[in-house]
Amino acid sequence: MYVARRVAWKHFAPFALRSVLFFITYSTIICTVYTFTGWKILTVPFVPIATIGTAVAFYVGFKNNSSYDRLWEARRIWGSLVNTSRSWSIMVHDFISDRMVTDPLPADELRVAKKNLIYGHLAYLTALRVQLRRQTVWQQHRNVAHDIVQRIAEFKQCSLDVELQRFLPQAEIDTVMTFTNPATQLLHRQSEQLRALRDRGYLSDFYHVEMERALAEFYNQQGACERIKSFPFPRQYAFFSYVFTWVFILVLPFGLLNEMAKIGGMHLWLTVPFYTVVAWVFNTMEIVGDTSENPFENSINDVPLTAICRNIEIDLREMLGETNVPKRVQAVENILM
């Protein structure tokens, strides 16, 4: 997620300059050929081109709105995960008690049981984050939004088994890593822990049901994330938005040339700057929509999963009374991941 008010030039220039240079070169060649040959075939009435431009603007606008909806839905889901995680921590602390147990565990052991549930939840969030950032077939393309993230060392992501070492013993990590969906299995493990606590009398039936509902809510939120991750933005919209945009960009200079030639003189060369500006605007709109389609693909437009997970970790570990909690994730080059 880009957090600065304005996009820095070093992030803006790579994708802008390449296209601008192409537009300048393309329109200059057309104007030069027309100047030396006078071929009327290079001039096209502007009305049909303007009609194409209007249609493309509506089409690209629809695509961008849909892309933003996917991005915002992903952010809302993780906002819900933050709230439910805090509620889960409160349940662990307040619902699990030895008040009704005739032969209670020592206080330290009960505290460890609560800590295991909290750390197990942090492991679950870590697994979900890593799973969501795995590359899928339709995300395996290079663009500036990905390249910027890839070149920043602080954004290098460790493997899941390494990430889990902060929260789980190695034996449990080895078991979890044998499954195709570790996050799902970690929640299942939490459910088993709750059942064991209920069987021993540390959790009443009513509280047990409430905490199982919280786990079910985590499954719902995980499923919502996986729906966005596993179902790409419909390719018919994404692909033809790209095609229509470039059809318009490629035919536009011929229409502008026709209009500028009517004025006469050196006004013909005004085609180059006007074309460059219009073509760049349409191309940028297309790129913005294209790089916002998938909110979990390791680009600058991603939902900041690492920062969100770290904030949850800080809150939950402080509820445990820990003081050696990690610091909040800071933006690097105005990018928060």
Torsion sign across C-alpha atoms 172, 173, 174, 180: positive
Per-residue pLDDT band at 257 (split at 50, 70, 90): confident
Higher pLDDT, 335 or 321: 321
Per-residue pLDDT band at 328 (split at 50, 70, 90): confident
Q: What average pLDDT score do residues 301-330 get?
A: 88
In a domain, 332, yes or no: no
In a domain, 324, yes or no: no
In a domain, 53, yes or no: yes
The whole-number pLDDT of residue 218 equals 94
**Quick one: residue 9, left, alpha or beta (phi over 0 = left, psi -120 to 50 = alpha)?**
alpha
Per-residue pLDDT band at 139 (split at 50, 70, 90): low
> Can you state the angle between helices 46-95 and 235-263, rounded to 10 degrees?
140
In a domain, 330, yes or no: no
Residues 69-89 have pLDDT tens digits of 988 999 999 999 999 999 999
Higher pLDDT, 34 or 142: 34
Residues 6+ apart with CB under 8 A from 6: none
The residue among 24, 34, 20, 26 whose CA lies nearest residue 264 is 34
Higher pLDDT, 224 or 101: 224
The whole-number pLDDT of residue 194 equals 92
Per-residue pLDDT band at 249 (split at 50, 70, 90): very high
Mean pLDDT rounded to a whole number for the chain: 84
Tokens 């996917």 label which residue? 70
Q: What are the Cα distances from residue 93, in Å, to 188, 208, 270?
A: 20, 13, 71
DSSP 8-state symbol, 179: S
In a domain, 282, yes or no: yes
> Does pLDDT of 242 surpass 60?
yes
Q: How far apart, in whole angstroms, are the C-alpha atoms of residue 299 and residue 142?
A: 10
Q: What is the DSSP string of 286-320?
A: HHHHHTTS-TTSSSTTS--HHHHHHHHHHHHHHHT
Tell me the three state secondary structure of residue 101: coil
Higher pLDDT, 98 or 78: 78
In a domain, 205, yes or no: yes
The whole-number pLDDT of residue 136 equals 67
Lowest-pLDDT choice from 65-69, 214-218, 263-267 = 263-267
In a domain, 234, yes or no: yes
Contacts 24+ apart (CB under 8 A), 29-34: 30/253, 30/254, 30/257, 30/271, 31/253, 31/257, 31/268, 31/269, 31/271, 31/272, 34/257, 34/261, 34/268
Q: How far apart, in whole angstroms, are the C-alpha atoms of residue 297 and residue 150?
A: 11
Q: What average pLDDT score do residues 164-181 get?
A: 90
Per-residue pLDDT band at 250 (split at 50, 70, 90): very high
Per-residue pLDDT band at 292 (split at 50, 70, 90): confident
Q: What average pLDDT score do residues 260-276 get?
A: 81
Torsion sign across C-alpha atoms 62, 67, 70, 74: negative
The answer to whether the CB of 295 falls within 8 A of the CB of 75 is: yes
What is the Cβ-side half-sphere exposure of residue 225, based on CA atoms within 13 angstroms? 30
* Percent of the residues in the chain that have a pLDDT greater than 90, as a whole number: 31
Q: What average pLDDT score do residues 231-247 get?
A: 85
Burial code (b: 16+ CB inside 10 Å, e: under 16) for 193-225 equals bbeebbeeebbeeebbeebeebbebbeebbebb
In a domain, 326, yes or no: no
Which residues, in sequence order, are bridge partners of residue 2? 335
The whole-number pLDDT of residue 216 equals 94
The whole-number pLDDT of residue 141 equals 57
Higher pLDDT, 130 or 15: 130
- Give the predicted TM-score (pTM) of the model: 0.85
Q: What average pLDDT score do residues 220-243 get?
A: 87
The whole-number pLDDT of residue 126 equals 92
Residues 2-27 have pLDDT tens digits of 666 776 666 666 677 888 899 999 88
Lowest-pLDDT choice from 99-103, 190-194, 279-283 = 99-103
> Does pLDDT of 309 surpass 70?
yes
Q: What are the Cα distances from residue 320, in Å, to 89, 116, 174, 207?
A: 9, 11, 26, 20
Q: What are the Cα distances from residue 248, in Å, to 56, 263, 289?
A: 8, 23, 17
> Does pLDDT of 155 surpass 70?
no
Structural domain harbouring 260: 9-319
Q: What average pLDDT score do residues 46-59 get?
A: 89
The residue among 230, 223, 234 whose CA lies nearest residue 184 is 223
Count of domains in the chain?
1
The whole-number pLDDT of residue 91 equals 93
